[in-house]
Structure 1
Amino acid sequence: MIWEDLMTDTDGQYIEFQAGKLFNQAANSSTKTPFKHKEFAPHDTDVMNEIWFPLKETGGMVAVTEFAVLNVVEQEGKQNIVLSALQTINDDLQIYKNEELLSSETIKLKPLELFETSININGNESIKIILGENKLVYTSNQKDILVDRPMLPNKDFNWESAYGQFTKGLELEKQREYIGAKNAYQKALGKDAGFLPALNRLAQSYYRQMDYKMALELVQKSLAINTYDGEANYLLGLICREVGDITTSKSGFSIAMGDAAYKSSAATELANLFLVEQNWNKAEKYAYKALVFNQYNLNALQTLALVKRKLGKIDEAKKVFYQITELDGTNHFQSFENYLISEKANDKELFLKGITNELPHESFLDLAINYSKKGCNEEAIKVLKLAPNNAVVNLWLAHLTPVNRELYLSKVLNQSPELVFPHRAETAEILITFLAGNSHWKLHYYLGLVLWNKNLVEEAKEQFMACGTEPEFAPFYLAKSKLVGSNKEKLECLTKARELAPEDWRSALALANYYISNKQAVEAFNLIQPFVKKYPEQSAIGLCYAQSLSAQQKYKQAISFLENYELLPFEGATIGRDLYNEACIRSAFSALKSGKNNTAIKYAEKAKLWPLNLGVGRPYDVDERLEDYILSIAYEAKRDKNNAENFADKVMQYSHPNYQQENSKLYLQLKLLIQNEEEKTAKLLLVRFLEDYPESNYLKWVEAKIENSLVVKNLENQILNGSGATMAYDTKFVDRKFELLLDFLENIEH
């Protein structure tokens, strides 16, 4: 309920209804379901309308359109109908019972005004409600609204087959997990070396990493299977364009146009190639072809506008600018083109004012590189000369203006690398060219950043290592610490960053976290403590400080600090409360071990709290088996039989919610059930969860622990050494209390 207390209104909790174009918000775990990830095709544009609306005094919702919200609630044998207007309504509202018109009434409403009525209806009768000319249609007949499609995965699908590995790779690629995707495609080809879809996608992986030789080799294998394959030909066009084989590139795009999936994108690329060659007629022809197959293709529209301007057809160009604006009001292309045409200071100002993001130079670079790739270098230079002074901007100016190359390159090398994040493949090519004649560390550093972004980690590391110890720039060493392998190298990097920026909280935090992960809690505490008061708004500092206290077993101090530390709430942020809970539990079983039962009870009860200042509210369902188990032991040690039994019963009777995966604390529940001669119940519980989650190592550990199996230690090592990382919105289950439970059991059982 934390959000209710933080909201400015006073009328209770609220929820947000959300619906979109897909069936779910796909996460990593969606891969194993029918509801997989979607991706955009090249140069595709998705046009959709969003509706944001309040839901007021309707008591719920059964249907909604941009015109109104409808709710129908059964009460005492009647159907109460409530309609809330979202815009001015002056329409007939028709109500049907069993397909027969029951009533028709003209209703007039202003936005958020309500219309209410009720009808008598039996449980087996259906109703239908229609507002105006189908402005809103609702039916209670489930056959008219439910679709019949599979909800569960096909059990016959073999994930280890070539197609299974390909699907796994495709799903990872759509989530931008490019290394995992590449590995999966390679496994697919290991199963079937001629599996064409995997050849194409693996070629795309190499293309993305700028390995055009390998990408071309794979595409040629694909084309040797089917020379008309649309995807392979499109990739052939892209790859050959990068290596300068324009004839083959045109051939690839031309054949790709024969595939409906690539008609628009391939025509766009051909239009761009002809634009570079200043073949205006063909550029215009293929831009129009691209738009026939996808009228919303922004890249094709931009190419068409450029051709029109180059041909002097200014009025026609302006019509295309209008189309682009209608599709994408934040697009800077048409704004700059208007300035180019008019050369008026006012239009220049409008263009510059339109770029308002945190890294404005990136918007200028995007626009300039788009021009450059279309052969419009003069326009690219004009864009960059209007851009904020930035190393990558000057790098591109050095590339595009050979006459002033040394001037701009000198600026690049003398500028601070602060907030310079090169990441584009096009920029990498320029850096490689300049490095052939200049070995300045900044060029190596910038190239390393691009390579890192392309998941070429070893190649990136080589560039960082080539910089030696010359950089006097703390973020360089913070970045390098993530690339080096050994702890010794990491420490050297973090220490150097700290020396260069002793007042920088990021350098201090990185080193403190290193100390914590290497069980040097005192060093972490001494380092981070001065920054806590200095940067109260940086929650990462406060959390690191609390961790350093807990790591020194100063649990009471950690608890006291966390009880008075303010963490702003944000979605999924449970770390503050997790640290608080762990400190309380460790205090409790430390007290148990020392025979201080009242103290153990105090901290076990505290562990159940969800302090609002830690930025997360208490969930509807909570798992307090560990806390209750500790309380049971503490009361038993005090010879308080009633309380001991009450808390033991809470553990034994705990019912895990179906929407959550069972965790390692099931062991405590089973142990108590067995101790209380309820072995059958314990066995049924274990079998049920093992059937529900057959791949869960946590449940395999519970089973092994209950049976005193020799594999317990192996399972513990697998879990502790495995990855606890999860992706955004992922439903992958990680039992974050597993290590805490192990420590508790070690203390209690010994």
Structure 2
Amino acid sequence: MKKQFVFCMAMLLGGSITSAQQPATVREYKQSFPTYPFSDPNPVPLLSAVYPYFRYDGFTDKPIQKEWKVIELENDFIKLLILPEIGGKIWAAIEKSSGRPFIYYNHAVKFRDIAMRGPWTSGGLEANYGGIMGHTPNCATPVDYAVQRNEDGSVSCTIGVLDLLSRSNWRMEIRLPKDKAWFSTKSFWYNATSVEQPYYHWMNAGLKASGNLEFIYPGNRYIGHNGEAEAWPINKTNGKNQSFYEQNDFGGYKSYHVFGKYTGFSGAYWHDDDLGMVRYGTHDDKAGKKIWIWGLSRQGMIWEKLLTDTDGQYVELQSGRLFNQNADKSSYTPFKHRSFAPYATDTWTEYWYPVHKTKGMVEANEQGALNVQYEKGWLKIYFSPAASVNDQLIVKSGETTVYTKNLQLSPLQTFADSIQVAANADQLTVTLGTNKLQYQSAPQANVLSRPVTTPADFDWTSTYGLYLLGKEAMDQKRYPEAEELLQKALKNDHNYFPALVKMAALLYRNLRYTEALELITRALSIDTHAGDANYYYGLINTALGNTIDAKDGFDLATLSTEYRSAAYTELSKIYLRENNADKALGYAAKAVDYNRFNIDALQLQAVIYRQQKQTDKHNSILTQLLSMDILNHFTGFEKYLRSNQESDKQQFSDQIRNELPVETYLELGIWYYNAGQKEDAVKVFAACPASVEASYWLAFLQKQPIKKEAIDLRLAFPFRSETAGVIEALRRQQSNWFLDYHLALIYLDRNRKTEAMQLLNNCGNSTGFAPLYAVRAALNNTSHPEQAAQDLQLAASIDPQWRYQKLLAEHYIRNGQNDKALPVTERFYKANPRHYIMGMLYAKALLLNKRYAASDAVLSKLNIIPFEGATDGRELYREAKLMQAVQAMQQKNYKKAIQFISQAKQWPENLGVGKPYEADIDTRLEDFMSYQCNRATGKNDAADQLLQQIIRFEPRIDNTVSNFQPANTFVTAWAYRQLQQSDRGTQWLNEQAKQYPDNKILHWSKALFEENQQPLPDAEKNANVRILEALKVSGVF
């Protein structure tokens, strides 16, 4: 039997590497990067699911040199750079022998407006945990961190922070062993609240796009954000192999959640470099595997220079706990959202490593990456180990062994061999050791049978359907929508048990305890032993001070495994508040019995042991907590409470390094208060840096007036239920407008708009605090637009910064007062010509005042720093050009009109948008106008070709982004009419209206075609509607 061996020299070199291995090292230092900083925090509360976070709105195209803290982990094989001041991102992962990054290394820190709070940077490995879909609120700001040198020779850097959207704490230990070519990321994420929270987690690893990149994702389908399923890897429409980056040269941004095979790994291979990388995690830990591509047209490639200076375009390899990053419409598919159970903890581990000279890969895990090819009678085997290997490799074809080899390899010492043998390429099985790694080549191997569509006849308007949608809305932090849906379900059936419980939970969240009690009592009258109903019965009665009923509820909730540990935790708190330490300790122990990661229960035990002066047991619990969560700040404060030493207090505060340290103090102080430890809570709030909320708590606990000198309202956004109770109590004792303002913000977050408005009105007009009036205006926008305008004028007079001018101008535009919007924007822009946000609004105001040439001139001078998905600048440019074309057509200057129409089809990149592929641009309106010009000048053949071009356009939605303008449905129908196919035009309109029943502009287009025009409010008109109206008024059609 003929064999050909290669890389024997590499095998010898591997032996020398093994003998020379040293413990891994960790260093902390400063490194200078060209940095495009962000700035300008928004003091106006965000009335959205992102509350209580604030945005940063300032971005620049001018770099500075800035030093950033770097945590460097290194062993003989790889080196990691971690930047704890930028979200704790693993900024680079470098394979040392080649010096090449296997995770994208961006040598510029270029913040751009992409994340939910604005700033975000490309590249590296980013961890996202929290309540809603998107880049985590902490992705660009400092997080807590700790470094460790471990006894086994490995080193670790653990990053983490409190997520305010869910009041959960996430931690990620980045661990580098001394003798492996992989690093691991171990997540530890716990819900520190007594209620269910929204649940979202994805890891995003940046990879360079160049080098003939192949995405190696086992699967037969991919899922979109809306839960739709398509074929993978071959695109059924165009036949392209989407697993190769360069074959994605169609459409727009790409989100492939690859699915359909039972697998733990995903990876990438740069065939030009003969190098790759692997991410591995077990399927139960990480079922979700996604590819993100900006798109290969200028629409996507414009981001190359926007996000880096020298490192080229990148893509992302992502992994998640669920199958897809589910947008709201995913609720109508099997791919729904989920919630984070009370006091629950999730933990999982992933492995990341480089791959050498394997020509690709077919299987991988923490042992290494395998590639097997069978071509023209030759079996080719490649294995790139990530750890030392001393095992037998066996290859079978069917039941016949065709190859065996004893492998002794060091990490990254690639093995390759080939053998000429008769085999079936679809019946190969490769095994390393005792199933340390196994691969089957059969196309149906590991294929999942899981359904990807919901029954077509499922009734979403049924009681269960409405309940499901309400639950889904809650799991996405869309609480007002959830309330509406659950109310509809209960209107259908006022005794529907699941909706009663879910609605009671929502009312509890919204601080409507009496109403919540009515519903949960009704639920118990249907099933008195139900775990969920009893648990929320306990919580609601606790809030109302009905301790006996609360105990009764929690006692019965322990019968349910889902709520057992949480119910025991709540019972422990009740008994601790009653100073019954023995019972409190017993229930805390029970809570840990059923959830060994129940952090709250362990902390309750620690408090009791400290009070009982059982130092050894107290130390043991603190050690146990730190072994799970090295960033647990409770442990540091407990040490201080026990010792009363200033050094321990200082050590505690030194470990809080995140962007918003006040929130860490507040969360800890409120935890002590909830546990009945008021004196300990006072000590936390007293140690807290200057904070409005801490001042409220101290005034409440110490029964003293609020220290007004400590009040700085600019970025103070209270949101906790406990703080609402404190403010309500303070308002009964003292009168301060800022108490009304802050309670109003909490009520707004709890969908209590009427009460919030009453509180804001109580504040009057003389506070001198502009954000208050911006909030009040937002609530009055629809119902009382005149009052809203007055409030925005007042805000702008208090603070002349751009935000209030923008809000005022937008209010005028929304209410059809374009003439009032123009001077507001003009004054500011002329004084600040580099302010592209106000520049765009000025251009829009000019447009709406029919000053099209002036708008065009302003847009030509703007340099817009874009944000993901934004096309506003280019849409304004197009409208300005087409409106000038309409004017030229009115003057019968068709040559000039054609010039403007041609210019409207251009995509000047100073406006912050790159041009998509032609097939993804809806030019039906431009073609319609060109048709009119050609007809008017006798160019009938050219005009007829344009009609055909119009009806050939295919509207579609890809990756939640539509490629069409709804008003252009009229243009298509009109083109059919010109072709003597009016019935087909009517059919077309009806099909579109049926497909998009909620699109008002589409229905306006239908009415326009039927000459039964229904006017749209100015605020709902877009550029195409305005242009079509102008064409109609001018008599063009």
Q: 1:414 to 1:306 in 2, by over 3 A?
A: closer
- Residue 390 of structure 1: CA displacement? 1.9
Q: CA deviation at 1:96?
A: 4.0
2:809 is the counterpart of 1:512 = yes
For the residues of structure 2 that align with 1:6 and 1:59, how far apart are their CA atoms? 32
1:336 corresponds to: 637
Distance in 1, matches of 2:745 and 2:975, equals: 55
1:41 aligns with 2:341: yes
Moved more, 226-235 or 197-206: 197-206
Alignment partner of 2:656: what SS?
A: coil
Residue type at the aligned position of 1:385: A
Quick one: which of 685, 703, 706 aligns to 1:384? 685
> What is the aligned length?
728
How far apart in 1 are the matches of 2:858 and 2:369?
Answer: 48
Separation (CA, whole Å) in 1 of partners of 2:808 and 2:549: 52
Change beyond 3 A, Cα 1:535–1:118: farther
Which has the larger share of helix? 1
Cα pair 1:441 1:470 within 8 Å, conserved = no
Q: 2:772 aligns with which of 458, 473, 476?
A: 476
Q: Which residue of 2 aligns with 1:559?
A: 856
Q: In structure 2, what is the equivalent of residue 650 of structure 1? A: 949
1:340 Cα deviation (Å)? Answer: 2.5
2:520 paired with 1:223: no
User: 1:640/1:399 Cα in 2 relative to 1: closer, same or farther (>3 Å)?
Assistant: same
Q: CA deviation at 1:119?
A: 8.1
Alignment partner of 2:975 out of 672, 684, 705 = 672
SS at match of 2:317: coil
What is the Cα deviation at residue 8 of structure 1?
4.5
d(CA) in 2 for partners of 1:280, 1:159: 50
Please say which of residues 237-246 and 661-670 is displaced more in the overlay.
661-670
1:705-716 to structure 2, matched below 5 A, reads 708=1010, 710=1012, 713=1014
Partners of 1:128 and 1:692 lie apart in 2 by: 47
Contact 1:395 1:412 in 2 (8 A): no
Amino acid at match of 2:931: S
Instruction: Give the equivalent residue in structure 1 for 2:846.
Output: 549
Show the 5 A alignment for 1:329-728. Answer: 329-402=630-703, 405-406=704-705, 409=706, 411-412=707-708, 415-484=711-780, 485-502=783-800, 504-532=801-829, 539-620=836-917, 621-641=920-940, 643-657=942-956, 659=958, 663-677=966-980, 708=1010, 710=1012, 713=1014, 717=1016
Paired with 2:901 and 2:424, the residues of 1 have a C-alpha distance of 50
Once the two structures are overlaid, the 10-residue window that deviates more, 459-468 or 202-211, is 202-211
1:343-398 residue CA offsets vs partner (Å, 9 max, x unmatched): 44443233212323443322211110011010111211111111112222111001
Q: CA deviation at 1:55?
A: 8.1
Q: Deviations over 1:665-711 (max 9, x none)?
A: 243234324423567876786676567556666666666655x274x
Given that 1:532 and 1:541 are in contact with CA atoms closer than 8 Å, whether structure 2 keeps it comes out as yes
Moved more, 630-639 or 83-92: 83-92
SS of 1:295's equivalent in the other structure is coil
Kindly state the Cα deviation for residue 641 of structure 1 after the two structures are TM-superposed. 4.6
2:323 to 12, 20, 23: 23
- SS state of the match for residue 346, structure 2? coil
Q: CA deviation at 1:77?
A: 8.9
Q: CA deviation at 1:456?
A: 0.7
**Residues 629 and 647, structure 1, Cα contact 8 Å, conserved in 2:** yes
CA distance in 2, matches of 1:622, 1:590: 24
Please state whether the residue corresponding to 1:46 is helix, strand or coil.
strand
Q: Provide the C-alpha distance between the structure 1 equivalents of 2:925 and 2:399, rounded to a whole number of angstroms.
A: 57
Are 2:332 and 1:32 aligned? yes
* Mapped contact 2:695–2:710 kept (Cα < 8 A): no
Contact 1:413 1:442 in 2 (8 A): no
CA distance in structure 2 between the partners assigned to 1:58 and 1:642 by the alignment: 57
Higher strand proportion? 2
Residue 461 of structure 1, CA deviation: 0.6
Counterpart CA distance in 1 for 2:859 and 2:357 is 40
Q: Which letter maps to 2:791? A: C
Moved more, 76-85 or 11-20: 76-85
Identity %: 34
Whole-Å separation in 2 of the counterparts to 1:66 and 1:539 = 49
Offset from partner CA, 1:27-71 (integer Å, 9 cap, x none): 111121121111111111121234556789878765554454566
> Contact conserved, 1:305 with 1:317, CA < 8 A, in 2?
yes
Provide the alpha-carbon RMSD of the alignment.
Answer: 3.5
The corresponding residue for 1:279 is 580
CA offsets 1:515-536 (integer angstroms, 9 cap, x no match)? 2223344443332345447667
User: What is the CA distance between 1:266 and its match in structure 2?
Assistant: 0.5
Structure 1: distance between partners of 2:711 and 2:311: 55
Shift in Å, 1:274: 1.5
> Are the aligned partners of 1:93 and 1:107 in contact in 2 as well (CA < 8 Å)?
no
Change (3 A) 1:596 1:131: farther
Q: TM-score, normalised by structure 2?
A: 0.64
Residue 130 (structure 1) shift: 4.3
CA distance in 2, matches of 1:112, 1:619: 44
The one-letter code matched in structure 2 to 1:668 is V
Q: Per-residue deviation at 1:152? A: 1.5
Separation in 2 of the partners of 1:709 and 1:223? 58
Describe the SS at the equivalent of 1:48: strand
Whether 1:174 aligns to 2:452 is no
For residue 582 of structure 1, what is the amino acid of its counterpart? E
Question: Which amino acid letter does the alignment assign opposite residue 326 of structure 2?
Answer: A
Q: Secondary structure at the match of 2:568?
A: helix
Instruction: Output the CA distance in 1 between the equivalents of 2:848 and 2:1030.
Output: 13
The separation in 2 between residues aligned to 1:89 and 1:701, in whole angstroms, is: 68
Q: CA deviation at 1:616?
A: 3.3
Letter of the 1:512 counterpart: A
Which position in structure 1 is the counterpart of 2:67? none
Q: Structure 2: how far apart are the matches of 1:634 and 1:75?
A: 60
State the alpha-carbon separation in 2 of the partners of residues 540 and 673 from structure 1.
41
Distance 1:74 1:532 in 2: 66
Q: Structure 2 vs 1, CA of residues 690 and 452 (structure 1 numbering), >3 Å: closer, same or farther?
A: closer
| 1:309 lines up with 2:610 in the alignment | yes
My pick for the range that moved more, 472-481 or 422-431, is: 422-431
Shift in Å, 1:11: 8.1
1:156 aligned counterpart, secondary structure: coil
Q: CA 1:564 to 1:417, structure 2 compared with 1: closer, same or farther past 3 Å?
A: same
Pair 117,265 (structure 1): closer, same or farther in 2 beyond 3 Å:
farther
Q: Note the residue ranges of structure 2 that are not aligned, 5 or more in a row.
A: 1-300
Measured in 1, the distance between the counterparts of 2:794 and 2:929 equals 45
Which 10-residue stretch deviates more, 238-247 or 59-68?
59-68
Q: Which moved more, 1:116-125 or 1:254-263?
A: 116-125
C-alpha change, 1:451 and 1:656, in structure 2 (3 Å) is closer
- Residues 425-466 of structure 1, C-alpha deviation per residue, up to 9 Å, x if partnerless? 222222222222323222222222222221111001111111
Contact 2:356 2:412 in 1 (8 A): no
Contact 1:99 1:127 in 2 (8 A): no
Q: In the alignment, what sits opposite 1:193?
A: 494
Matched with 1:732 is none
Whether contact under 8 Å (1:83, 1:116) holds in the other structure is no
Q: 1:196 to 1:99 in 2, by over 3 A?
A: same
Shift of residue 309, structure 1, vs aligned partner: 2.0
> Could you tell me which of 270, 277, 281 is aligned with 2:571?
270
| Cα gap change, 1:394 to 1:6, in 2 (>3 Å) | closer
